């Protein structure tokens, strides 16, 4: 066990077995749907949720972890004498980062100075890659300050893109950001977006097939830039994701860093059908 513990939230959507194997600590967000509240981390899978989302007249809601949720993770780690690097999804789309900061402040005189909270300015696979980079630095014995610097450098090297079937979920959930300008013409387009602190439009294509090929092009651009730790994520699109993985293997000559499904907290706001790709240089995991 290293002296630096890496904490994150559940919106990275790394494969759960990978999180467990690395000893990464999680604080779960919540989803409120079908007259129930669930911790995202405790859902066995996402199929039932997305089936509900497709037909729900009222959009389910999501919520950030409480300060108490963070304290429940931070306090045992501090009691072990460890420092904490806590990495979270973009503060522009969630209050999770703010909750982490508030929890840290409550620990004044009880280890506050050993907690370092980072806004990943990303989510999903991008957040996950930053978390894995931080863990790699911690695992090799880096100090907390070095882990923080390494995570920030990984974020600077990161690029992620995602294609959605519709902007309607982003509009209904209020997370649409600069893509607001596309709403009037969005009925017959497949938007391609990125997350640079907020949701940012990249381009519009006409068909799902063209959106898929653009995801392949973006993987190729990452390979050209030397960003060879690549990922694929999806929402209820496993066949398309598998095809994208095959194309990625042709480009990189390696397997992806991970492939996973985006869960309900983010999925509520982007909807089924999402495909996402991106990566960073594998040197961040050395």
Reported as a single tens digit per residue, the pLDDT across 91-125 is 998 999 999 999 999 999 999 999 999 999 999 99
Shared domain check, 86 and 111: yes
The total of structural domains in the chain comes to 2
CATH of the domain at 179: 3.30.1180.10
The domain boundary residue, chosen from 104, 121, 156: 156
Instruction: Calculate mean pLDDT across residues 250-261.
Output: 98
Rounded alpha-carbon distances, angstroms, from residue 45 to 32, 37, 206: 15, 15, 31
Shared domain check, 224 and 116: no
Instruction: Calculate mean pLDDT across residues 140-168.
Output: 94
- Rounded to the nearest 10 degrees, the angle between the axes of helix 238-252 and helix 208-224 is 30
Residue 188: predicted pLDDT: 66
Residue 84: predicted pLDDT: 98
The pLDDT of residue 41 is above 70: yes
Report residue 196's pLDDT band, with 50, 70 and 90 as the boundaries: confident
Shared domain check, 169 and 279: yes
Shared domain check, 104 and 141: yes
Residue 206: predicted pLDDT: 84
Residue 191: predicted pLDDT: 86
Cα–Cα distance measured from residue 41 to residue 233, given in angstroms and rounded to the nearest whole number: 17
Reported as a single tens digit per residue, the pLDDT across 211-240 is 999 999 999 999 999 999 999 999 999 999
In this structure, is residue 245 part of a structural domain? Answer: yes
Shared domain check, 196 and 169: yes
Which domain covers residue 221, as residue numbers?
A: 159-285
- Name residue 116's beta-bridge partners: 85
The pLDDT of residue 187 is above 90: no
In this structure, is residue 54 part of a structural domain? Answer: no
Shared domain check, 119 and 187: no
* Cα distance from N-terminal residue to C-terminal residue, the chain: 18
Q: pLDDT averaged over the chain?
A: 92
Shared domain check, 200 and 76: no
Residue 213: predicted pLDDT: 97
Nearest one of 195, 261, 215 to 234, comparing CA atoms? 261
Residue 178: predicted pLDDT: 44
Shared domain check, 240 and 108: no
Residue 75: predicted pLDDT: 98
Residue 186: predicted pLDDT: 47
């Amino acid at each position: 066990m290293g002296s630096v513990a890496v904490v994150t939230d559940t919106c990275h959507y790394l494969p759960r077995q990978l999180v467990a194997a690395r000893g990464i600590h999680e604080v779960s967000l919540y989803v409120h749907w079908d007259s129930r509240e669930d911790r995202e981390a405790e859902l066995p899978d996402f199929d039932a949720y997305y089936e509900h989302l497709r037909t729900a007249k009222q959009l389910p809601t999501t919520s950030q972890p409480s300060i108490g949720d963070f304290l429940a993770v931070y306090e045992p780690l501090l009691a072990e004498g460890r420092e904490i690097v806590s990495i979270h999804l973009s503060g522009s789309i969630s209050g999770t980062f703010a909750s982490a900061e508030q929890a840290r402040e409550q620990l004044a005189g009880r280890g506050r100075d050993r907690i370092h909270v980072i806004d990943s300015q990303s989510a999903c696979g991008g957040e996950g890659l930053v978390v894995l980079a931080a863990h790699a630095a911690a695992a090799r014995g880096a100090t907390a300050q070095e882990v923080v610097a390494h995570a920030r450098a990984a974020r600077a090297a990161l690029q992620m893109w995602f294609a959605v079937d519709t902007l309607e979920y982003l509009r209904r959930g209020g997370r649409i950001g600069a893509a607001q300008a596309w709403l009037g013409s969005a009925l017959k387009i497949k938007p391609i977006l990125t997350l640079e602190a907020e949701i940012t439009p990249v381009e519009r294509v006409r068909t799902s097939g063209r959106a898929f090929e653009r995801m392949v092009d973006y993987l190729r651009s990452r390979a050209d830039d030397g960003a060879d730790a690549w990922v694929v994520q999806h929402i209820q699109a496993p066949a398309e994701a598998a095809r994208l993985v095959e194309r990625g293997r042709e480009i990189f000559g390696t397997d992806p860093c991970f492939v996973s499904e985006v869960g309900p907290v983010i999925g509520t706001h982007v909807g089924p059908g999402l495909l996402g790709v991106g990566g960073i240089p594998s040197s961040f995991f050395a």
